[in-house]
Every structure is written in C-alpha cells, then in structure tokens.
Amino acid sequence: MTRTGIRLGLVDSGLPPGFCRDEMPACRFVQDDTGAVQQTPVVPDPLGHGTTVSAILRHHGPEAMLYNAQVFDAKGVTTAATVAAAIDWLVAVQVDVINLSLGLQQDRTVLREACVRAVAADIILIASAPAQGAAVYPAQYPGVIRATGDARCAVAEISWLDSGQADFGACPRALDQARDDPPRIGGASLGAAHLSGQVAAYLQAGGTRERLWEDLVSRAQYVHSERRIK
C-alpha cells in the first residue's frame, strides 16, 4: 500500500525561485550577533547547492512534499545553532525524513541535542559524510544515517559501505552530469541527497522506518569497497 504526503525536510541553501511558492512550508534561519537564531522569510537560493539537492530529491521522490529549511547565507556559511533550529522546526512540523547535505567540523551540544530530539520523534536523518578524512557533524551522531558519494553508483544505485566513514554511498553527481564527469559540487552532499530521495520513495511505496536499514542493505549494488553484487 502506498502512502500519501511524505514530508521531506531540506536543510540547505534554499530553493530556486520557481520552487518558492506561497503554499510550500518554508523558513529561513539566521543567527544574529547575540547568538540567537531568528526565523525570517526565505529567499531564493543564493548558492545553487540547495537547488541541485532539491532536484535530486524530487527526481527520486516526486510525490514528496519538500519543507525548505534555509540555513546558509550568500557566502555558504552556517552555524551549528542555525542547523539545530532548522532541525527543531522540521521536527515540529512532523516531517518523515530530513536531508542534511552538509557537515560541520566541530561537535556542538546544540546540534547533537537537536538530532537526539529528531531521532526520538522517529524522523529519519540522513547527513553527508566524507569518504576520507575527519568526521563531520551531524553525520557522526547516534541514529543519523551517514551517506557519502560513491563513484561506482549510477543515479538509482546505492552501496552499503558499513565503514568508519559512512554507512551508505550513492551517486555523487548532479542529475545533468554524465557518469564519468567529476562532481561539480561535493560528492558526499549529493550522495546524501540521492539516498534521501530514494528513502522518501521507499516510504511513499509503503515501506516502514523499522525495515528501512534492511531494505537499503538488501538492494545495495555494492558492498564495502571491493565488489559489485548486482
């Protein structure tokens, strides 16, 4: 049995003008000089990153309703408190999945606690993690699915990495890129988007949170870093 109204939270730089409709749930989060996070009306995506990510999400889950939580400024900068406020807003509006195609270098209590609240609310959190190098947050928090870009994966494919860096990999490229082209934007962030979109489609088709991990592992085209299985 299919479900209706899957709610997919996008924590990113926003959406292009055509997406910014009055009926679309959206909020912009800005941290002021005092450290307080203010909620303001959204603006069109100033970076293009959220635009690319949203296209991927809609490709895989065209029936999902996107909830636009805008956290990056025009320079591509955000803070842990800003991302935490966005997560809390998405928890309050009861989304099913939150895509976090971003990674902060420092573990911050405010962000960790926001993720704890989201997981406790039975929301699926998917965050980007680098294939190599230092850990980033929120990917490293308990209950968050760590996703990275895997150059072996086509648009509809995933890999089960089960590594110290990431749980799953997915296509690291934008939809308009050939498979052999290097990613124009960070491969891990787009890998997370491809995985989140496929998770939304899984839920839309009647899948459950309880069986999600098993489903992702069972249909992975690649296991670990060595071999293709399908």
Strand partners, 70: 12, 28
Instruction: Work out the pLDDT band at 213, boundaries 50, 70, 90.
Output: very high
Average pLDDT over every residue of 179-197:
85
Tell me how far apart the alpha carbons of residues 1 and 121 are, in angstroms, rounded to a whole number: 23
Instruction: Work out the pLDDT band at 20, boundaries 50, 70, 90.
Output: low
Domains within the chain, CATH numbers bracketed = 7-228 (3.40.50.200)
- End-to-end CA gap in the chain: 27
If you average pLDDT over every residue of the chain, what do you get? 91
Question: With a threshold of 0.95, does the pTM exceed it?
Answer: no
Q: Residue 169 belongs to what H/E stretch?
A: strand 168-170
Kindly tell me the burial class for residue 47, based on how many C-beta atoms sit within 10 Å of its own C-beta (0-12, 13-18, 19 or more).
middle
Could you identify the residue written with the tokens 């309880």? 210
pLDDT at site 197: 98
Give the DSSP letter of residue 182.
P
For 7-18, what is each residue's pLDDT tens digit?
Answer: 999 999 999 887
For 118-135, what is each residue's pLDDT tens digit?
Answer: 999 999 999 999 988 889
pLDDT at 1 over 50: no
Average pLDDT over every residue of 77-82:
96
How big is the chain by its Cα radius of gyration, in Å?
16
Tell me how far apart the alpha carbons of residues 30 and 86 are, in angstroms, rounded to a whole number: 10
With beta carbons less than 8 A apart as the criterion, state whether 22 and 90 touch: no
Can you read off the two tokens belonging to residue 56?
């991927």
pLDDT at site 185: 66
Please give the single-letter amino acid code of residue 29.
F
For 44-53, what is each residue's pLDDT tens digit?
Answer: 999 999 999 9
pLDDT at site 199: 98
